[in-house]
Amino acid sequence: MPKLIKNNELTENISQTLDKDFSGKVDEVLANKGTVLTPKEYWLENSEQLAGKENIGIWLDSDEGPEELSPHIEKLSLIAINFPKFADGRGYSYARILRDRLGFKGELRAIGDIMHDQMFYLKRCGFNSFAVREDKNAEVVITGLNDFSECYQAATVQDKPLFRRR
């Protein structure tokens, strides 16, 4: 079973991610345990029925910016950002926009092709949850959250650069 790193702890990932072309009823999927991640467009089209439900989240693909979520940001408890391949870094920017500009306070999850080398930087951008692929060793991946003891630059998780913290 795939693993989830949430708030620096390893757990089972029992969430379901619906495909972009999903057109059914989410209530049927919700009958199963866990959280359901709906595509951004599906959530926006059905926001009145889905807003405020604790076990419903939304996922953005790497080519979908988060700005459209601005009017709904208070109603969302979970937003996931897909990293379709290691070299696609747009998700880092989307995380900063969600946390720093739009004020998203809920769970921000990285999904897709994430690995140990990215974990520390994803956390600095505001991610607090990471879906680890089944072919990755989650015990190794989680160690990436603490690869460095100090950072020079400011980030979402540390708003002052090192010289201002002295």
* Chain segment 63-104, per-residue pLDDT in tens: 999 999 999 999 899 999 999 887 788 999 999 999 999 999
3-state secondary structure of 146: helix
pLDDT, mean over the chain: 88
Q: Which long-range contacts (CB under 8 A, 24 or more apart) does 133-142 make?
A: 133/2, 134/1, 134/2, 138/3, 138/5, 138/10, 139/10, 140/116, 141/5, 141/114, 141/115, 141/116, 142/5, 142/8, 142/10
The pLDDT of 142-164, averaged and rounded, is 82
pLDDT of residue 130: 94
Domains of the chain: 3-165 (3.40.50)
User: CA 130 to CA 114: how far, in whole Å?
Assistant: 8
CB atoms closer than 10 angstroms to residue 146: 11
Task: Give residue-wise pLDDT tens across range 33-57.
Answer: 678 899 999 889 888 888 777 788 9
Handedness of CA 156, 152, 8, 136 (dihedral sign): positive
Which tops the pLDDT comparison, 159 or 112?
Answer: 112
| pTM for this model (two decimals) | 0.89
